[in-house]
A and B are shown apart, each in its own frame.
Chain A
């Protein structure tokens, strides 16, 4: 049994209208797992169900072998870090961090010692008597982090903790989170809509959509081999073309797109022989597209809508039949006035899925 288990969970904000339906999730001890998905996909609902702020209507929540399904949030010993920091504005940094320890009736000298330790850990030594309003965004988030780990939680939940920070601070905090996770070995569940954040931090990513898990895998598996059309689009396979599956053979997957044959040499676990002759969708990334006919690659003649020179790359908006496509290609744009040109996509960069 995994450290955290959600089994057959129905949960939501309104009774009878669950956002999660028959939801299952398991997380191993010491793992940092990201829940990745667009807003409204149920990732925050999942987090709140684990934290106990949403009580599951159906199913069971198990943490460390104990049934937590009906345990109220204040008895769960779970650290929680919010997007907006949620520090107590009327308390100093010290009192913010000491809050959880005081609730646990820890002795005063012990509180002082543990708060000092954790503030050192998040590089906020010397900030004890400041108020949250006197801190920068990054410092506030570090206080929030210190406050949630000082209670030595069984589990740390982070709800988009970096999205209120500017890009540079976000990178710093990401590195810091990563370091803390390695140092403390604490189990973390990290909610984000940012693919880069999820990839750089987590050992495992769970991609969610409309209350369901679309795919679970390592960052590399998610990025390189998206298992569903949704995940494909979410990790940047923005171009989408419809076709008919011709053959699922040893040479690859053959697809007919308006009379042009495309070959994909990626595994397509979702397809079987029975799908031959049926509608399929092709996905590929704008930056996997090559300009001109390249030997061994699938060539297609497209109409150029406009090109946008960006220095070392050029961005194209184009169309193939009725499908709008995008390409990002190294080099200068094709000459002005060229309306049609040939683009190629290598067979190993092309995903074929059942028609969407």
Chain B
């Protein structure tokens, strides 16, 4: 019994540590105080109105959304065949290749950001928007490969062979039999990758430039000058939206088993 009390205590601490900051942000976003302070005083929705009306937040939100969607889609299109090849076939250098594919998830974001900066901006002179898209694609790729791999691993190769024995070419079997059955894995990969992109700071920090920023970068630079609860309000909106998306995907497709 003593054991279980300690366990409950530790669990509670972990929960407080994980969820506490969110609750504080949520509460301060309604505070009528003009600086972020806890406990909040009074109640107002003014910060929400302000957050939604700041032009820079709106434009950078669109940049984040477009970058996230495009990079996620690209990472998926590249990730599905790679995951498929790694699950189905054995070839020389497979392990080395797998390590290479997962390196963007292992190498620190700052290092990636800086190397991409050198490559895109100093060497290739690629426009900021495109650089951002390519950089995000690179960091999302390992996630899509991993999630799609785990859903492919659950899908028996015999089913594909059955389709082939019934007259499908391997390519047709992939589209007719494999893809429909890894749908939820694809959705899970999409959501995970998109959220990763949307939240990314270290890589975006290096790749954004004059006039182009992503939402998190814009939020950081806003906080350098203003310390009012606008950021709390904006963060609360993002958290609520994320929870809704993840929850409904989990309810509909049970995506957590792939991540």
Residues of A within 8 A of B (CB): 51, 53, 73-80, 82, 84, 86-90, 99-100, 103-104, 144, 147-148, 151
Which one of A99, A104, A144, A151 has the highest number of Cβ atoms from chain B below 10 Å of its Cβ? A99
Instruction: Quote the shortest CB–CB distance from B220 to chain A (angstroms).
Output: 45
Name the prevailing secondary structure of the B interface residues: helix
Asked whether any CB of chain A lies closer than 8 Å to the CB of B166, the reply is yes
Contact A89–B181 (Cβ < 8 Å): yes
Asked whether any CB of chain A lies closer than 8 Å to the CB of B165, the reply is yes
Instruction: Quote the shortest CB–CB distance from A16 to chain B (angstroms).
Output: 13
Nearest residue in B to A100 (C-beta to C-beta)?
Answer: B166
Contact B158–A147 (Cβ < 8 Å): no
Instruction: Quote the shortest CB–CB distance from A162 to chain B (angstroms).
Output: 16
Contact A90–B180 (Cβ < 8 Å): yes
With a CB–CB cut-off of 8 A, which chain A residues contact B161? 51, 53, 73, 80, 82, 86
Please measure, in the bound complex, the distance between the C-alpha atom of A51 and the C-alpha atom of B161, giving whole angstroms.
Answer: 10
Asked whether any CB of chain A lies closer than 8 Å to the CB of B78, the reply is no
With a CB–CB cut-off of 8 A, which chain A residues contact B165? 51, 73-74, 76, 78-80, 148
Q: How many residues of B contact A (CB 8 A)?
A: 17
Contact A86–B166 (Cβ < 8 Å): no
Asked whether any CB of chain A lies closer than 8 Å to the CB of B100, the reply is no
With a CB–CB cut-off of 8 A, which chain A residues contact B170? 74
Interface hits, B161-194 → A, CB 8 Å: 161-170, 172, 177, 180-181
Contact B158–A74 (Cβ < 8 Å): no
Contact B180–A99 (Cβ < 8 Å): no
With a CB–CB cut-off of 8 A, which chain B residues contact A53? 161, 164
Taking A51-B165, A87-B159 as given, write out 11 further A-B residue pairs in contact, using a Cβ cutoff of 8 Å, ordered by the A residue number: A73-B165, A74-B164, A74-B165, A74-B166, A77-B167, A80-B162, A82-B158, A84-B158, A88-B162, A90-B177, A151-B167
Nearest residue in A to B90 (C-beta to C-beta)?
Answer: A14
Instruction: Quote the shortest CB–CB distance from A293 to chain B (angstroms).
Output: 56
Nearest residue in B to A99 (C-beta to C-beta)?
Answer: B166
With a CB–CB cut-off of 8 A, which chain A residues contact B163? 88, 99
Please measure, in the bound complex, the distance between the C-alpha atom of A213 and the C-alpha atom of B170, giving whole angstroms.
Answer: 32
Asked whether any CB of chain A lies closer than 8 Å to the CB of B156, the reply is yes
Please measure, in the bound complex, the distance between the C-alpha atom of A151 and the C-alpha atom of B166, giving whole angstroms.
Answer: 8
Nearest residue in B to A88 (C-beta to C-beta)?
Answer: B177
Instruction: Quote the shortest CB–CB distance from B257 to chain A (angstroms).
Output: 15
Please measure, in the bound complex, the distance between the C-alpha atom of A51 and the C-alpha atom of B156, giving whole angstroms.
Answer: 18
Nearest residue in A to B173 (C-beta to C-beta)?
Answer: A74
Contact A84–B180 (Cβ < 8 Å): no
Please measure, in the bound complex, the distance between the C-alpha atom of A100 and the C-alpha atom of B163, giving whole angstroms.
Answer: 8
With a CB–CB cut-off of 8 A, which chain A residues contact B169? 74
With a CB–CB cut-off of 8 A, which chain B residues contact A82? 158, 161-162
Contact B162–A86 (Cβ < 8 Å): yes
Please measure, in the bound complex, the distance between the C-alpha atom of A329 and the C-alpha atom of B214, giving whole angstroms.
Answer: 83
Which of A75, A88, A103 is in CB contact (< 8 Å) with B159? A88
With a CB–CB cut-off of 8 A, which chain A residues contact B172? 103
Please measure, in the bound complex, the distance between the C-alpha atom of A79 and the C-alpha atom of B165, giving whole angstroms.
Answer: 7
Which of B159, B167, B168 is in CB contact (< 8 Å) with A86? B159
Interface string of B39-51 (1 = CB under 8 A from A): 0000000000000
With a CB–CB cut-off of 8 A, which chain B residues contact A79? 165
With a CB–CB cut-off of 8 A, which chain B residues contact A148? 165-166
Instruction: Quote the shortest CB–CB distance from B128 to chain A (angstroms).
Output: 42
Nearest residue in A to B179 (C-beta to C-beta)?
Answer: A90
Sample of 20 A–B contacts (CB below 8 Å):
A73-B164, A73-B165, A74-B167, A74-B169, A74-B170, A75-B167, A80-B161, A80-B165, A86-B159, A87-B162, A88-B177, A89-B159, A89-B181, A100-B166, A103-B166, A103-B167, A103-B172, A144-B162, A148-B165, A148-B166
With a CB–CB cut-off of 8 A, which chain B residues contact A90? 177, 180-181
With a CB–CB cut-off of 8 A, which chain A residues contact B167? 74-75, 77, 100, 103-104, 151
Please measure, in the bound complex, the distance between the C-alpha atom of A87 and the C-alpha atom of B162, giving whole angstroms.
Answer: 8
Interface string of B136-172 (1 = CB under 8 A from A): 0000000000000000000010110111111111101
With a CB–CB cut-off of 8 A, which chain B residues contact A86? 156, 158-159, 161-162
Please measure, in the bound complex, the distance between the C-alpha atom of A80 and the C-alpha atom of B61, giving whole angstroms.
Answer: 53
Contact A74–B168 (Cβ < 8 Å): yes
